[in-house]
A and B are shown apart, each in its own frame.
Chain A
Amino acid sequence: MTVLVLTCEADVTADMVVAELHEQGVPLVRFDPGDLPGGGSLSVEYVRGEFRGYLSSGGRVASMQGLRSVWIRRPSTPAAHAPEPSDWLSVESAHALYGMLDCTGARWMNHPSAAAKARRKPWQLRIAYLSGFPVPATLLTTHPTMARQFAEQYRHVVVKSVSGKSPGDPPMALPTTLVPPDADFSGVAAAPTMLQRYIAKRADIRLTSVGDRHFAARKATEPGQVDGRYGDTGHEWQAVEVPTQIARAVETYKKHAELAYGAFDFAEDSTGTWWFLECNQGGQFGFVELETGLPIARTVASWLGAELS
């Protein structure tokens, strides 16, 4: 039984898992959907009720009948590397590939449908609350008046991207940023805007959940630091225990979201409360493992390589 890893060639975080799969003796095929068609190929037959499919890349072949699990890490857009790429070809290739994979009994980390839903922050906040996490008051609006009132009510609010996508061409970075008291909110009418009550935090928490195992890492913040991804403060990630109630909420959240993997971000306030900020269904774990030694890659590999129940 084979593990299928969908990711681009340059993804060295995937390498960490591939190396573990090699170590565990689990057969795998690494495939970048961007290579389809071209460097990668597929064929699938539906004849008299029977389904037979194959996927090949780099001289390796994965039979759909023998597929154990599928890990979607950082795949390129289907057909992105084709000799004559086009939007049409990408859609055709995506339907062929993912439609074929959907016909298998393989386990997914994570299924594309679940992933698409789980990326949406407004939905995340609702599910987080229902799962038992403390969630900062949040407003998503296109009404400048509502935005101004929210900012006045909570006094300290941050603005963040709704999708996480970088704006502009060339791309700009959009860190979560504290909104100044004299902000002009008229631009709220130009795009849905997400404002959130600022949590004065003493640390960032990244919890990586793989199957039923949870790995938490903590990084102290400097006073006033808002987005932990920006600005080197000299602090390092350190492994910490996962509080029982957080573990329970993580499991509830993942069950709601039908996720096998999730990277949860929290802000730890002065009382030690972990405030839910977001859950990245495909969030990075390489930096956590490299700094803390938490065995995340090995756990991902074990989940992917486990026998079907």
Chain B
Amino acid sequence: MMLRRGIPGLTGLLLACLSLSSCQTRPRADLVLCNGAEPQTLDPALVSGQLEGRLCSALYEGLTRRDSRGKSIPAAAKSWDISPDGKTYTFHLRPDLRWSNGDPVTSSDYRESWLRALHPNTASPYAEIFFGISNAQEFNQGKSTAESVGLQTPDPLTLRVQLTHPLPYFPSLTSFTTYLPVHQATVTKYGDRWAQPGTWVGNGPYRLLDWKINDRVSLEKNPLYHSPERIRLQRIDALAVTRASTAFNLYSSGQADLLLDKGLIPSLMLPQLRGRPDFHPGPLFATYFYRFNVTRPPFQDVRVRRAFALAIDKETIVERITRGNEPIAQSLTPRGIADYEPPEGLPSDPTTAQGLLKLAGYPEGRGFPRVSLLYNKSELNEQIAVEIQAQWKRVLGVEVELRNQEWATYLRSLDELDFDIARSSWVGDYDDPNTFLDCFVTGRGNNRTGWSDPTYDSLLNRALAEPKPTKRLQLLASAETILVSQALPIIPLYHFVGCLMFDPNQWEGLYPNLLDEHPFSEIGPKGK
């Protein structure tokens, strides 16, 4: 009797859930890709991750944009003029720009969006990327007004930017996510919730169709985009998938067309995948490195830091652990920037390492205090740490304790310099060595080593003021030599590689590139 009464109730509950969870068959998007974790936001001023940046570059258009080979090309700005001193850029906007709600896009939109990202109350994680603009840093720190920031709009189609120093890479910087424009009236009207389906307004090649938490972000072609004929895909679904095996299963079963991240490919399968035509590896502008806390003994002594750096055999790490054909890193800046030759760094040299440790007062590691190596919890970090721990023990005779912390605790330990040696990585934001080297200027928030060198700071400042590109890159290379060959607050270990997976007979417009930029607007079915 009870069972008979229970069945309709249970069926009702199931049906209710079925309808609530919109579990129905829907047409497949033209392109389905695994995009990594759930996007934290689609507000470009608040974005700090690559997966959100990828979606934002489809939803908004900056003054410039990256093409499918990572090269910076004109976008909303059809052209720009540079003053003779290299410090004033005048951008000329295309006259046919429209927001997705039909409003015209003007130079004021760019100025207001940049000021919004700079405003302290926006709390943009990337506000410092504007600091090359005059008075931007002061405004961000609440020391000056918006009017004093070097942004002028003489007319609706002209934006004049006054820089503190000549920045030859400034036009390419305007393609960066934080520089993307937002529709100010929409932001004002809806507050924090403006970047959601139904309220969102943008000016990119795609518009936001749907966003289901932990499921997918659906984009559809924006009919008001200035060059709609260029866009070949009507709808794109970016799936939120964090587990590599799941992403790979989706790809293998044809439910996803594209994997855009090496993290979405099971590392154990990399050797088997290497020969397949749908596996596309390429270098990335990112480096895995260890940092020392130079404020504590024994790493206050540069000889100890040098000994630790020389004792590492980096080849073993990339051959046995990472196994993705990663190039070993002797410098912090990866190779691939035109005209920039990173310093040679330090090769593996166990004999010199032992000699240096002896000179520092620890022959064969005797009397060396117990130090720890901090890393955030991940299988790869642990394997690398175990290998390096063994190498230091073998070569230098020192005991290094491994200290594993989960992400938030690890970040706090880094910020508070509560470590001896710590794992780190850095991904370049723009194609210039400055994106790496600026981190280690005295007092920078990302320094996180306690290291300070007036010569290094001065070289970076001189490079900032230097109008000649060749001379500027030489100054940066000299600074990097101090960082990776002399003072050694860090030990670069290897440069990351990116891996794309897609069927080259089915898709075109995708090329591995240093900045890992793959604009959706250039992807299309092959031959169509």
Asked if A and B are interacting partners, one says no
